[in-house]
Structure 1
Amino acid sequence: MAPRTYWKGYLKMSLVTCPVQMMPATSDNEKVRFHTLNARTGNRVVSQYVDAVTGKPVEEDDEIKGYPRGEDEYVLFEDEELEAVALDSVRTIDIDLFTPADSIGWTWYDTPYYLMPDGKVGEEAYSVIREAMRSTGMVAISRLVISRRERAVMLEPRENGIVLWTLRYGDEVRDPTDYFKREDEKPDPELLKLVTRLINDRKAKWSPKMVHDPVQDRLLDLIEARKNTRKPKRKARAEPEAEDVPTNVVSIFDALKRSIAGEKSGGSGRKK
């Protein structure tokens, strides 16, 4: 069964408008998920807001948003007040700014979505906007309300479609210069040559199998084996075994030479 459309609206650039629909580009629906149960009754456990002081449950109608301004002191806001500061339209992606595609660093990218024309009517306008961005090497910057939150978004032509990325806000991205120190010394040419050789020996064409999740498979096997067995006895958590830490210190030059020798002989230097 085809997944339900996540969002529908309009893509607008100047006087050009076309109906579009959007779907998340990624999914975790196939991941193994567990419910939390009451071990005594076997019933599911549900979460609930409780008053931090009285410990009593809070009814949904009594919930309100609060911004802290001091210890145990808050500025209160109704949902309608917070929604009023959002975009006027939650159904239009209005493009009025473009920037070179290679000018946005990867740290700004957040969540990808597939943006597609919604019906035959919008296909021509959609394809014109897509190909114009592709031919100029540009991406579009706009804003969109997703899950009741206004987000900056980037529209990028990709294959026969457009990928819409939500972008992180300026205060969410840390400056890399605070963490990556400037390197004044250049690496030893001989070491660089050996590492480059190792990279070339191990390169392969990208495949989704490279990011296969083996834990998922083991969980599915465990679930299948447990379906026809009795309830497991709860065991005390075992202490993790200490990892073996190499105690012998060798030069990086010697280690690289041995790695390359292992590659040649088909030894353990390379994982199959």
Structure 2
Amino acid sequence: MARPIWSGTLSFGLLNVPVSLMSGERRVDISFRMLDSRDKKPIRFERVNAETGEEVPWKDIIKAFEYDKGSYVVVEKEDIASAAPQTHESIDVEAFVEREAIGLRFYEKPYVLVPGKKAEKGYVLLRETLKKTGKVGVARVVIRTREYLCAVAPEDDALVLLMLRYPQELVEPSDYKLPVGKPADFRISAREVEMAASLIQSMTTAWQPENYEDEFRKRLQAIIRKRLKAKRATTRIRDEQVPEQEDAATNVVDFMSLLQKSLDENKRTPARKRAPAGKAAAVTKASAKTAKKTGKKATRAPRKSAAR
């Protein structure tokens, strides 16, 4: 059984749903090892000092930022730890937006949210409400030491978590030289547009992802199987069974009162506005006032293992 990547709660308003984050993708790439062609022995990549050529053990390796060519500033482990976010136990939905409002370029990686034991009610409530309203939740989650922006969306019987790129990570299409203008500006006739539309219509079909397969990987696997058969090589696959973990969550929750209280306190959870990391110590009075209004850490319900 697959192991959860992360476990915690999915929170929106005052409702908390215990969930586990499971991988939503399957790695199917064929990986290769580099060998010495003379004796077919594996090649080892070593960490060596650029000046002396000597191998450097892990204990002597530190991290540094190259601010100029050949000039570095060392960043200690304590510095990285102090910059890391504090919350590791919840996926905090900050706002709900129209699903179409998030551009395709923002989506990065899919995961599946699986409800904890006896937490199905809150899970289904959020899933069906998102379906009905056509909304997705915009949230933040901390995995290991990094905070990610993500979207929580319904798909069939599942709630999926889609990692999003921050806008700073995206290149604006306008940065490139693109053809701007009307079809007539490029001598495209109405007849050509009509014919192209007819072609697209003739090729239109229902989306059936099972019809698509990585043909290169398929052919490469066939070649590898043929080589293995020729050498009469055998391979063994060890299947490790991971015991299912029990979750102490319960499903006895007054959802109506929690929903009403969330609505009374805040009709819509606003997205938090954060100061840049380098300016965190110099927050202005206006931004501090905004943080006080939007953060509401003092009024948030305490975390419980029960579905809320």
TM-score, reference length from structure 1:
0.76
Q: Is residue 2:123 matched to residue 1:126? A: yes
For residue 34 of structure 2, the aligned residue among 25, 36, 44 is 36
In structure 2, what is the equivalent of residue 27 of structure 1? 26
TM-score, reference length from structure 2:
0.68
Matches of 2:214 and 2:163, distance apart in 1: 26
Change beyond 3 A, Cα 1:96–1:217: closer
After superposition, give the CA deviation of every residue in 1:221-272 in whole Å (9 maximum; x if it has no partner). Answer: 2112212547xxxxxxxxxxxxxxxxxxxxxxxxxxxxxxxxxxxxxxxxxx
The offset of 1:210, in angstroms, is 4.3
Q: Which ranges in structure 2 are unaligned for 5 or more consecutive residues?
A: 232-308
Change beyond 3 A, Cα 1:112–1:201: same
The offset of 1:119, in angstroms, is 1.6
Aligned partner of residue 17 in structure 1, secondary structure: strand
After superposition, give the CA deviation of every residue in 1:157-212 in whole Å (9 maximum; x if it has no partner). Answer: 22222111111122221222334343134442211221222222222322235431
Amino acid at match of 1:80: E
Matches of 1:201 and 1:18, distance apart in 2: 46
Q: Is residue 2:192 matched to residue 1:195? A: no
In structure 1, what is the equivalent of residue 219 of structure 2? 218
Amino acid at match of 2:11: K
For residue 162 of structure 1, the aligned residue among 159, 167, 188 is 159
For residue 92 of structure 2, the aligned residue among 83, 90, 94 is 94
Matches of 2:122 and 2:193, distance apart in 1: 50
Identity of aligned residues (%): 29
Matches of 1:210 and 1:178, distance apart in 2: 36
Asked if the contact 2:65/2:72 (under 8 Å) is kept, the reply is yes
The offset of 1:44, in angstroms, is 2.3
Matches of 2:204 and 2:183, distance apart in 1: 27
Matches of 1:104 and 1:13, distance apart in 2: 19
For residue 148 of structure 1, the aligned residue among 135, 139, 145 is 145
Greater RCO structure (CA 8 Å; 6+ sep) = 2
Query: Within 5 A, what are the aligned runs for 1:52-63?
Result: 52-63=50-61
In structure 2, what is the equivalent of residue 138 of structure 1? 135
Matches of 2:54 and 2:112, distance apart in 1: 44
Aligned partner of residue 116 in structure 1, secondary structure: strand
Q: Which ranges in structure 1 are unaligned for 5 or more consecutive residues?
A: 231-272
In structure 1, what is the equivalent of residue 175 of structure 2? 178
Matches of 2:104 and 2:168, distance apart in 1: 15
Which 4+ stretches in 1 moved above 6 angstroms? none
Query: Within 5 A, what are the aligned runs for 1:96-111?
Result: 96-111=94-109
Matches of 1:102 and 1:139, distance apart in 2: 9
Matches of 2:29 and 2:13, distance apart in 1: 42
Aligned partner of residue 84 in structure 1, secondary structure: helix
Q: Is residue 2:32 matched to residue 1:16? A: no
Change beyond 3 A, Cα 1:109–1:194: same
After superposition, give the CA deviation of every residue in 1:80-124 in whole Å (9 maximum; x if it has no partner). Answer: 32132122122211122222211110001111111121222x211
Amino acid at match of 1:113: Y
Matches of 1:138 and 1:60, distance apart in 2: 47
Aligned residues: 227
When the two chains are superposed, the root-mean-square deviation of aligned CA atoms in Å is 2.0
